[in-house]
Each structure stands twice: as structure tokens, then as C-alpha cells.
Amino acid sequence: MACNSFLKTSRVTQKRTLTYLSLVASLLVSIFILFSACEAPHHETPESFTPTTALARLVEGNQRFLQGKSRHPHQTHQRILETQDHQRPFAVVVTCSDSRVSPEIIFDEGLGDLFVIRTAGNLMSDLELGSIEYAVEHLGASLVVVLGHTECGAVKAFLDGGKTCGHITQIVEALANEQEEQQVLRYEGKDLRACIEGNILHGVTQLEHDEPILVEQIRQGKLGVTPMLYDIHTGRVLVLKESELRKKHHSLSN
């Protein structure tokens, strides 16, 4: 009886040990998977980006976002530690302050990836241009994107032509003074989409004529400037062709 009892106890202990070991093993596997998932993203250094590869990365990120396959890279505590002493964004995104247009979300990027400039109507004054120059010259960004969007309220306000007050007036005036918008109104009338594209073109022109920093970087092939349009109805970013846009909207600026 005593022997049987001992054997029974021994089997129970053995079973418990096996259960414990299998639990530890599954825990270790889970931790490994979790770490692999978190740290799967790229290991590129910003220096490895060209205007072309930077553009491809943004396009791929928007594809993932559209397909519901966002990876949400670089949003961990580890990324905070990695970037605490320096930042090396690979692209600058100049876009509207509209709450529906969030670059890190629509391009599926994270901390330290994008240098973002946002104003209503993605308008750029000297202050914004200075920020962009800093991102290109000191932080090494390879691409500047001018990202307009459908249903832009700033462009609508300009087209509506109603009375504005405060500093909003300056936004409307800035749009009205753009040569590209004047051309659109002359040839296409009050067409919202055309005016949005005209405004994007204006931004591209400003960047391409930004002396001396951006002009020199573009001349050396180190910097690209790309017009884009974000569709707030679909989440899709459309990469626009500058030459086609200029032709379409009778832009005289290049």
C-alpha cells in the first residue's frame, strides 16, 4: 500500500512538473514571438534613402494602411530610447492641419520617421520653409512631399470668397495670391479639385525655388520634391506627376 501510494504521489509530481515545464516553454515562445513582432521593422539608416526609395516607402505604408495591414512601426518604448538623442527622419511631409490627414497614420510610420509641417491649406511661409531646410540639411531627409487633400476647408474658404476675420483672412489671401490659383480660376473657374491641385503645385514651386539650401540639394540629386493628394473619402494617397499637373492647370511657374 505504502509503495503504491509512493508511486501515485511520484506520478502526480511528475505530471505537475511536466505541466509546469510546458507552461514555461509556452511563455518563452510567446515572449519570443512578441519581441520578434515588435522589432521586425526595418534597419535602414537614413543615409541609405534616396528620393526614390523614400517615396517607395511612403507609398508602401499607405498601401498597408489602405489594406488594413498597418504595422504601426516605431511606436514602442524602445523606439523612444533609440531616438532620445537624435532624429533622422527620411522624409518631410508638408500637409494641411485638417484632423483627418495624419501623416504617421496614413503612411504607417512612427516616431522619428517623418518630419511633419502642418498648416491650414498646407501653406508655407518663411518659418515653414526654414523648418524644411533644417530637416533636409541637418537631419538628412531625402524627400519633401507636398500633400494636399480632397475637401480642403482652407481652399473652400478661398473659393467661397465670403467674409473672413482674424488671421484666417491671411490664409485666404495667401491662396488668392498664388499664381497657380489665379491660373486655375482663369482657365477652369471655381473648381475645388483644380484649386486644391493648383495649391499643391504652388507648394512644389516654392520648394523648388528655395535658395540656397533646397535648390542645391535638388540639383545634386539628394532631394526629391513630390506632389501628393490624400483622398479623405478613401484613405488613399495619390502620387501626382508635377509635369502633368502643370500642363493641366496652365501653371507658368516652372
* Nearer residue to Zn ion within complex by CB, 58 or 157: 157
The Cα-based distances of 180 to 65, 74, 227, 248 in angstroms read: 32, 38, 14, 11
- Could you say whether residue 96 binds Zn ion (CB under 5 A)? yes
Q: Which of 152, 159, 171, 245 binds Zn ion (CB under 5 A)?
A: 152
Q: Which residues contact 134 (CB under 8 A, 6 or more apart)?
A: none
Provide the terminal-to-terminal Cα distance of the chain, rounded to the nearest Å: 100
Q: What minimum distance in Å lies between the beta carbon of 95 and Zn ion?
A: 8
> With binding defined as CB under 5 A, does residue 171 bind Zn ion?
no
Identity of the residue, 152 or 237, whose beta carbon is nearer to Zn ion in the bound complex: 152
Show Cβ contacts of residue 195 under 8 Å, excluding neighbours closer than 6 positions.
Answer: 155, 158, 159, 175, 181, 184, 185
Name, in order, each residue with C-beta under 8 angstroms of 80's C-beta and a sequence gap of 6 or more.
111
Which residue, 98 or 133, is less far from Zn ion as judged by CB? Answer: 98
**Using CA atoms, how far apart are residues 135 and 57, in angstroms rounded to an integer?**
18
Residue among 73 and 148 whose Cβ is closer to Zn ion: 148
Contacts with Zn ion: how many residues (CB under 5 A)?
3
Residue carrying the nine cell digits 512644389 = 204
* Residue 24 or 168 with smaller CB distance to Zn ion: 168
Report the residue from 91, 98, 201, 217 that binds Zn ion according to the rule CB under 5 A.
98
- Binding part of the chain for Zn ion, among 26-34, 47-55, 144-152, 173-181 by CB under 5 A, reads 144-152
200 touches Zn ion by CB under 5 A: no
CB of 152 to Zn ion, least distance (A): 3
Based on CB atoms, which residue is closest to Zn ion, 91 or 96?
A: 96
Q: Whole-angstrom Cα distance, residue 254 to residue 242? A: 10
Which amino acid would we find at residue 241? K
Ranges within 215-244 binding Zn ion (CB under 5 A) = none
Q: Which parts of this chain interact with Zn ion (CB under 5 A)?
A: 96, 98, 152
